[in-house]
Chain A
Amino acid sequence: MIAIIDYGCGNLGSIKNMIRKIGGEAVITSNIDEIRQAKKIILPGVGSFDTGMNNLKKSGFIDILNEKAFNEKVPFLGICLGMQLMTKGSEEGSEPGLAWFDAETIKFKFEKSSVNKIPNMGWKHVYQKKESAYLKEMYPEPRFYFVHSYYVKSNKPEDVLTTSTYGTEYVSGFEKGNLCGVQFHPEKSHKFGMKLFTNFLSI
């Protein structure tokens, strides 16, 4: 069973919709016992970094998520803010992140006259930087839907799964062992997202 962690941040219904569409089974849960049973975990998230971290703490999820990620080593996918929470911290807030990756979350900075507006909202190409089960047999020229004002900067090149470009080239996916984070929204990215989730189901 896949647990989609409900900590009050984000659009969980669409992730469940897509997993159901491809024949998988997922539950949206904020129940620690249910999370404990999970064979795979998705940490979604939309909203601000500190709200996300504080909600994880308030819900009492930090310990169980660490346990699942590092003791049980279940496949663990962070999406959007869920990816950013896996970094050490964000310019958006003052709370420390989960620090699962040696990476930081940084704000896009553009001149007002720039054609690049914030948030970065839309479809962007994703360039694969290493082999990964998540991107197995991916369709050519994969494009995913992004909505974000902050991006991840990784201090470990070997963790970088994909990069994308918005004014600057940034890390749009990272992966280390059983842990993976993507900045884009596979649940809103048509066949590309379905392929990624199909791969996630078969990991």
Chain B
Amino acid sequence: METPRIIPILLLKGTGLYKTLKFKEPKYIGDPLNAVKIFNDKEVDELIILDITASLENKKPNYELLYQMAGECFMPLGYGGAVSSIEEIRKLISMGIEKVSINSNAVKLDFIREAADVFGSSTIVVSMDVKKNFWGKYEVYTKSGTSNTKMEASKFAVEINKAGAGELLVNSIDRDGVMQGYDLDLIKSISGEIDIPLIACGGAGELNHFKQAVNAGASAAAAGSMFVFHGKHRAVLISYPEQSEINALFR
């Protein structure tokens, strides 16, 4: 039996790791390189690193740090944050990062098209931050959740799929850090419209939430808080389920 990918997502702010709550209140977690080493030792399925301030501050990706991280990862590694050119993607890939995630620049569909063409679809992930508006419509945000594109999430997902992205990371801003479960309606509304894998993100607090996301149509489930916090006081402790637990969950 094959199990879906369970993916820790680490948020980078400057040279530190942080975890947000609804994209706000970044709490310091620790040293990113150390965390990456621990996740590698725990043999995680995949790891995604997102720089949450690079785009906002018009900075470049922190290549030096990413290079060091990639050297410690013997599993697939994705990176997102201020990726705005073909040359940047090339540089990230050459360091040993196989998936490059595009968020703020994904609204430029031509960029997605070109990137998928040059590097192959499987290298290009679009990460989509979504917030439900007052009328219950899912809208796509960019710039670390600060800029509302007013685009409807499932429609945008279809465009991204057509443009050639190989994977879609759907992050619920409302559920970020809440740990009460994924927004299953959001996952359902998008997964049925696309034929590329969807990674659900935002809301995981227990193992069963992963199964709910997969049942709702996600191909993989990602989480932040659940893998870096422990207990109700949110003490920092890095964890990851054993493969036997994941097997039992999806049996």
Q: Which residues of A are at the interface with B, using a C-beta cutoff of 8 A?
A: 11-14, 17-18, 21, 46-48, 110, 112, 117-119, 121-125, 145, 147-149, 165, 185, 187-191, 193-194
Contacts and interface: CB of A to CB of B under 8 A. Distances in A.
Contacts of A12: 94
Contact of A189 (B2, B4, B75): B75
The main secondary structure of chain A at its interface with chain B is mixed
Contacts of B73: 14
Contacts of A147: 76, 98, 122
B74 A188 contact: yes
B94 A13 contact: yes
30 contacts: A11-B97, A11-B98, A12-B94, A13-B95, A13-B96, A14-B70, A14-B73, A14-B74, A17-B74, A18-B74, A46-B119, A48-B120, A117-B197, A119-B196, A121-B5, A121-B219, A121-B220, A122-B2, A122-B4, A122-B5, A122-B219, A123-B5, A124-B2, A147-B98, A165-B2, A187-B74, A188-B74, A188-B75, A190-B43, A193-B74
B74 A121 contact: no
B93 interface: yes
A80 to B, nearest CB: 10
Contacts of B195: 110, 112, 117-118
A165 B97 CA distance: 26
Contacts of A46: 98, 119-120, 122-123
The main secondary structure of chain B at its interface with chain A is loop
Interface of B: 2-5, 40, 43, 45-46, 70-71, 73-76, 93-98, 119-123, 166-167, 195-198, 219-220
Contacts of A193: 74
B220 A122 contact: yes
A190 B119 CA distance: 24
Contacts of B196: 117-119
Nearest to A45: B120
Contact of B70 (A13, A110, A148): A13
A149 to B, nearest CB: 7
Contacts of A119: 121-122, 166, 196-197
A9 B40 CA distance: 26
Nearest to B97: A11
Given A145-B75, A191-B43, A121 B96 contact: no
Contacts of A149: 121-122
Contacts of B198: 117
A12 B73 CA distance: 14
Given A188-B75, A194-B74, A121 B4 contact: no
9 nearest CB pairs, A to B = A13-B96, A14-B96, A47-B120, A147-B122, A117-B197, A190-B43, A122-B5, A119-B122, A11-B98
- A11, A46, A188: most-surrounded residue (chain B CB, <10 A): A11
A185 B46 CA distance: 13
